[in-house]
Structure 1
Amino acid sequence: MSFRIGKRFTFEAAHQLSGLPGGHKCGRLHGHSYTVEVVLTATELSESGFVIDFANLDPIKRHLAEHFDHQPLNEAIDIEPTSENLARVLFEWCAKNVPLPATAAIEAVRVSETSATWAEYRPCH
């Protein structure tokens, strides 16, 4: 048996993608209202009945506010700032910085630039 939960966070940022065909709109500096969804799983619940208390995910909100909100993503991360790369960077940060109970794990991080598009990173086990 397993349980899954998720929490969404938002921030505003700009980026410019390189290596695209001439005239591609994403090659110009532009911004998005990003949504980040962090998905966690657990094999069993805590005594309180949680995978994790959602309040324990506040470090993610602070990290996004301090390092990504209203920032140029080309300067915020050391890799091409696509949604795919951003999902991986954020997954890796969460895995290192969000304390979890032994029964829980971060399953995936999903990044959306628009309401119609998303990219998700989940490691291969």
Structure 2
Amino acid sequence: MTQVSTEHGNFRISRSFNFCASHQLSSLPVEHKCSRLHGHNYTVTVAVGGATLDEHGFVTDFANLAPLDEYLRTRFDHRHLNDVVDFAPTSELLAHHLGCWFIAEVEPNLGGARLVSMTVSETSHSAACWERS
């Protein structure tokens, strides 16, 4: 199969991973519920894209995104995020951190596909997305 491209847009794939962790946003007023220790079952969704598909018809193999799952499990799963990162562990800042990590550590192995966005969801109703500029 030959490489496929489109003149009208880009292809995008996404994959989601989960981890459980606690955090505390101590810069918030004491009355704010998020200033207290609490936890979430996080979902992290990475989106990568490109203008072409490889010889298999893929943006990249979904398996190439698995290093993000390993990073999440070893660094964040069942941890207190305030003890793990050197920034306030908001969903916005976690999405930015994970996006930058992904660009440095995973993207070079994607065969030309590039990170589009990194989304961190604390619940099924609340998410923060960092988009690459």
Structure 1 position 95 matched with structure 2 position 103: yes
Superposition RMSD in Å: 0.8
Aligned to 1:119: 128
Superposed structure 1 runs of 4+ greater than 6 Å apart: none
Q: Which runs of 5+ in 1 are unaligned?
A: none
Structure 1 residue 75 displacement after superposition: 1.4
Q: 1:42-72 CA deviation, whole Å, 9 max, x = no partner?
A: 1100000000100111111100000000011
Query: 1:1-125 residue pairs with structure 2 within 5 A?
Result: 1-98=9-106, 99-102=109-112, 104-124=113-133
Give SS of 2:12's match. strand
Report the TM-score, using the length of structure 2 for normalisation.
0.90
Deviation at 1:123, TM superposition (A): 2.6
Q: How many angstroms does 1:89 deviate by?
A: 0.4
Unaligned stretches of 5+ in structure 2? 1-8
With structure 1 as the length reference, what TM-score do the two structures score?
A: 0.95
Distance 1:61 1:20 in 2: 30
Please give the alpha-carbon distance, in whole angstroms, between the structure 1 residues aligned to 2:72 and 2:27: 26
